[in-house]
Amino acid sequence: MWEYTDKVKEHFLNPRNVGEVENPDGVAEVGSIACGDALKLSFKLDENKRIREAKFKTFGCASAIASSSALTEIIKGMTLEEAAKVSNRDIAAYLGGLPDEKMHCSVMGKEALEKAIENYQGAPATEPGAKIVCECFGVTDREIERAVRENSLTTVEEVTNYTKAGGGCGKCHDAIQQIIERVRAELKPVTIPKMTNIQKMKMIEEALEREIRPSLKHDGGDIELIDVVGNRVIVATRGACASCKTSNITLKNFVEVKLRDLVSPDLIIEEVAP
Amino acid sequence: MKTVYLDNNATTQVAPEVLEAMLPYFHEYYGNPSSMHSFGGQVARKIREAREQVAALLGASPDEIVFTSCGTESDNAAIRSALTIHPERRHIVTSRVEHPAVKSLCANLAGQGYRITELPVEKNGLLDMEQFVGSLTPDTAIVSLMWANNETGVIFPVEKAAELARERGILFHTDAVQSTGKIPINMRTNAIDMLSFSGHKLHAPKGIGVLYVRKGTRFSPFLIGGHQEKGRRGGTENTPSIIGLGSACELAARHLKTENTTVRRMRDKLETTLLAKIPNARVNGDSEQRLPNTTNISFEFVEGEGILLLMNEYGICASSGSACTSGSLQPSHVLRAMGVPFTMAHGSIRFSLSIFTTEEEIDFTIGKMPPIIERLRGMSPYWTSVAQACTSV
């Protein structure tokens, strides 16, 4: 038995706004009977261009019906700009949460809303350039990308819970993994400060002078910055360091660590051939 | 709220006399049947009696009965034994509609290099016997076919299949978890080498199972340990449950006729009335070759989980083969193997009765189902178009 919140149960047993709006301004149908759930959403705007009426018809499980009911309640009174910002997470949150395996019900609601708005605006019903990744459930790369992005998904299993993609024959698991990696890479916060090579050299030289040379000189050694190529910092060792057998350990464990800390986390120290 | 329990293929209530038979063996006669003292010995005698009761239900001899922990253990023990006995044979024949206890094991064995033939079924859930015969090869170590299907109740001709396997020197195992106690079984007149069943489907408690191993069949134990069960299954006997199972088997033997008269009549009444009252509904599975207690009905254009949860509001318990209830995203493998269309598969409900089911419960369910289906169809985008098409004709 699924663990549903009282709110989900309540919206399943007493769904709001079941039916179809007469002469709707926007209408959309998503999902399919093969997939096990489908939702037909229709809405009508008032004179201020706010959603006056929203109705649904849903084929699906309790959480699909509850999600549809919640969606219609959420968007009533909103402008289309406001409605467009409603996410699947908002639908799930309205219901006090959904089981992980049922998150795709909230995603279906979001998709129907988006398509109904597009339908009103006269936009194409299908996303241009979208490619089907999961053939069992007809899920496109765009849909997977968006679910990964909006819900910070990290595993194929999570993608299946949210979009159903990969829940059938499993042939598309590799493709889904690649999409996850691609989107995660895009999402990675940019921690590396963007700077010119000159700025980088300056910062490295300053760090060497202030934090590194004093320690090396203490042992009778020294270091000289030769060049910076991308993230490669090319240096030459001087004095005692030049003849020290363990100087490369010092370079890696001390100099590189310091420079990564002070200048940029992607730096790699390389020593020029003597 | 009163519970109307129509999910007896999932599990059954422990019968009052079964519970009564078990109780003294928890705290009063708690001796180990392997002990030398008479305090343990009296329990051993009681277990012997239970073994005889189980054997009697199967038409077997008591020393062909091995007590296990559940149906899944019995299935695993039977199939793995055959593979150990015939290490040179690398092929297993089974069907697409087996219970996960066999299906998942075979999938696991496929990963270890065994070749698995999963026989398809026809639209009514029955096997194509010609295809079965064609699948048997000198490399086949064992055939494992369920006697009756848990979801549809469809009965496979396992006795005929076992003969065909024996003629070719191939071991035959049947998962009889659903059929034991519901249809007559006589191991003396068939060629089945191993048979598995589970206590909790016939009013014994959960956690007790049986593996029947025909006399003379070579057997390699699954659980290796002490000398219990004549070395065929190590581990101290689950004495209260074994005694309960003995009592339950006696009860089942007594009620075998009830199953095929009273229970069957109530099942038929439920089925025919629901089909008459609810449009776009159909039965999944052959009408003749079927357990007397099971009906699997699909209600088109609605989804099973919703139906179950609305039934739950009235205390009616059943199961569904829909994706949402199967724990995966696809409807049941049994219905898919039978080629049940998606419009039907997602809305399938399995009602399974028992000797404790009453006429009032059936009438109550018959009264509640039509409005439940109508209510969900009222919300379904597909039903509207079907209804419109019907009225416009």
Quick: pLDDT tens for B277-300: 999 999 999 999 999 999 999 999
Backbone angles phi and psi of B314, in degrees to 5: -105, 5
Q: Domain spanning B16-252: which CATH class is it, in words?
A: alpha beta
Task: State the Cα–Cα distance between residues B146 and B291, nearest whole angstrom.
Answer: 13
Name which of B309, B325, B329, B330 to mutate to probe chain A: the one with the most chain A Cβ atoms within 10 A of its Cβ. Answer: B329
Q: What is the pLDDT of residue B208?
A: 98
Cα dihedral sign for A22, A26, A32, A38?
A: negative
In contact, A26 and A55? CB cutoff 8 Å: no
Query: Do the domains B16-252 and B4-10+256-392 match in fold?
Result: no
Counting one residue from chain A and one from chain B, the pairs whose CB atoms sit within 8 A come to 76
pLDDT band with cut points at 50, 70 and 90 for residue B267:
very high
Strands B65-68 and B91-95: unpaired
- Mean pLDDT computed over every residue of chain A: 87
A61 contacts in chain B (CB < 8 Å): 303-306, 322, 324-325
B329 contacts in chain A (CB < 8 Å): 35-36, 137, 160, 164, 167-168
Place of tokens 């048979």: B195
- Mean pLDDT computed over every residue of chain B: 95
Backbone angles phi and psi of B219, in degrees to 5: -140, 135
Q: What is the pLDDT of residue A123?
A: 66
Q: Which long-range contacts (CB under 8 A, 24 or more apart) does A151-158 make?
A: A151/A88, A151/A89, A151/A103, A152/A187, A153/A180, A154/A180, A154/A184, A155/A180, A156/A180, A158/A100
Tokens of B106: 């075979």
Cβ contact B329–A61 (<8 Å)? no
Strands A26-32 and A37-45: antiparallel
- Measure in Å the smallest separation between the Cα of B15 and chain A Cα atoms: 25
Task: State the Cα–Cα distance between residues B368 and B292, nearest whole angstrom.
Answer: 22
Minimum Cα–Cα distance from A60: chain B residue: B303
Q: What is the pLDDT of residue A150?
A: 87
User: How many helices and strands (H and E) does chain B possess?
Assistant: 15, 13
- How many other CB atoms sit within 10 Å of the CB of residue B130? 8
Q: Which of A36, A167, A168 sits opposite B303 (nearest CB)?
A: A36
Lowest mean pLDDT among A181-195, B25-39, B314-328: A181-195
User: What residue spans of B136-186 are helical by DSSP H?
Assistant: 158-167
Cα dihedral sign for B29, B35, B37, B38?
A: positive
Q: What is the mean pLDDT of residues A163-179?
A: 87
Q: What is the pLDDT of residue A267?
A: 87
- The full DSSP string for B108-141 is HHHHTT-EEEEE-B-TTS-B-HHHHHHH--TTEE
Cβ contact B381–A58 (<8 Å)? yes
Look at residue A108 and tell me whether its pLDDT is greater than 60.
yes
Cβ contact B381–A12 (<8 Å)? no
Give per-residue pLDDT as tens, A89-102. Answer: 999 999 999 998 88
Give per-residue pLDDT as tens, B19-64. Answer: 999 999 999 999 999 999 999 999 999 999 999 999 999 999 999 9
Q: What is the mean pLDDT of residues A167-172?
A: 82
Name which of A59, A63, A169 to mutate to probe chain B: the one with the most chain B Cβ atoms within 10 A of its Cβ. Answer: A59
Cβ contact A160–B329 (<8 Å)? yes
Look at residue B327 and tell me whether its pLDDT is greater than 80.
no
Q: Break chain B into its structural domains and give their ranges.
A: 4-10+256-392, 16-252
Q: What is the pLDDT of residue B388?
A: 62
Q: What is the pLDDT of residue B139?
A: 97
pLDDT band with cut points at 50, 70 and 90 for residue A238:
confident
Tokens of A28: 């959309």
Give per-residue pLDDT as tens, B145-183. Answer: 999 999 999 999 999 999 999 999 999 999 999 999 999
Tokens of A211: 């934090």
Tokens of B29: 């006669």
A2 contacts in chain B (CB < 8 Å): 305, 324
pLDDT band with cut points at 50, 70 and 90 for residue A85:
very high
Higher pLDDT, B173 or A146: B173
Q: What is the pLDDT of residue B325?
A: 66
Look at residue A125 and tell me whether its pLDDT is greater than 70.
no
Cβ contact A59–B302 (<8 Å)? yes
Q: Which of B309, B322, B381 sits opposite A38 (nearest CB)?
A: B381
Which residues of B have a catalytic role annotated? 324
Minimum Cα–Cα distance from B322: chain A residue: A36
Q: What is the mean pLDDT of residues A115-142?
A: 81
Q: Which CATH superfamily is domain B4-10+256-392 in?
A: Aspartate Aminotransferase, domain 1 (3.90.1150.10)
Closest CA to B251 of B192, B311, B182, B165: B182
Look at residue B393 and tell me whether its pLDDT is greater than 50.
no
Q: What is the mean pLDDT of residues B266-270?
A: 98
Cβ contact B379–A164 (<8 Å)? no
Q: What is the pLDDT of residue B391?
A: 56
Sorted by where each starts, the structural domains of chain A and their CATH numbers stand as 6-121 (3.90.1010.10), 132-187 (1.10.10.1100), 197-271 (3.30.300.130)
Task: State the Cα–Cα distance between residues A2 and A98, nearest whole angstrom.
Answer: 10
Lowest mean pLDDT among A182-196, A256-270, B24-38, B220-234: A182-196
> Three-state secondary structure along A142-209?
HHHHHHHHHHCCCCHHHHHHHHCCCCCCCCCHHHHHHHHHHHHHHHCCCCCCCCCHHHHHHHHHHHHH
Cβ contact A62–B329 (<8 Å)? no
Higher pLDDT, B326 or B48: B48
Task: State the Cα–Cα distance between residues A107 and A91, nearest whole angstrom.
Answer: 9
pLDDT band with cut points at 50, 70 and 90 for residue A196:
confident
How far, in whole angstroms, is CA B249 from its chain's centroid? 15
Cβ contact B305–A2 (<8 Å)? yes
